[in-house]
Amino acid sequence: AQKVTQAQTEISVVEKEDVTLDCVYETRDTTYYLFWYKQPPSGELVFLIRRNSFDEQNEISGRYSWNFQKSTSSFNFTITASQVVDSAVYFCALRWGNAGNMLTFGGGTRLMVKP
């Protein structure tokens, strides 16, 4: 079975702090894809990153960085120098091998960045 767990339901930080959102996944497939989406208060899901299971290189995009570790089945997301505009719900998702292209989502982490 496929499963994505985001253990942190809510995180509150003060602006300029760094924050890491955890994501742990379960799958039996050797080929799979991991995603992070942001859902701001407006409600629309915004794609942030896609990573396939064969690429364990960490990625940095501006203030965002992602740490993919197959050994611990984790795909954590770090925001450096957080800003109020980062306040949103962040979802980690898994797409696995041959089951079409459907995504299994974690429960989301609500990030609140206070000024």
Partner 1 sequence: GAGVSQSPSNKVTEKGKDVELRCDPISGHTALYWYRQRLGQGLEFLIYFQGNSAPDKSGLPSDRFSAERTGESVSTLTIQRTQQEDSAVYLCASSLPATQLAGRTDTQYFGPGTRLTVL
With respect to partner 1, which residue has the nearer C-beta, 39 or 67? 39
Smallest distance from partner 1 to CB 98, Å? 7
Q: How far apart are CA 44 and CA 53, in angstroms?
A: 27
Q: Is 38 in the site for partner 1 (CB under 8 A)?
A: no
Q: Is 87 in the site for partner 1 (CB under 8 A)?
A: no
Q: Is 8 in the site for partner 1 (CB under 8 A)?
A: no
79 beta partners: 19, 64
With respect to partner 1, which residue has the nearer C-beta, 54 or 62? 54
Q: Is 107 in the site for partner 1 (CB under 8 A)?
A: yes
β-strand pairing of 10-14 with 109-114: parallel
Q: Is 42 in the site for partner 1 (CB under 8 A)?
A: yes
Residue among 1, 28, 61, 100 that touches partner 1 (CB under 8 A): 100
Q: How many residues bind partner 1 (CB under 8 A)?
A: 28
Please name which of 113, 104, 112, 114 lies closest in space to residue 6, comparing C-alpha atoms: 104
Smallest distance from partner 1 to CB 107, Å? 4
Taking a C-beta distance cutoff of 8 angstroms, is the pair 6, 92 a contact? yes
Rg (CA), the chain: 14
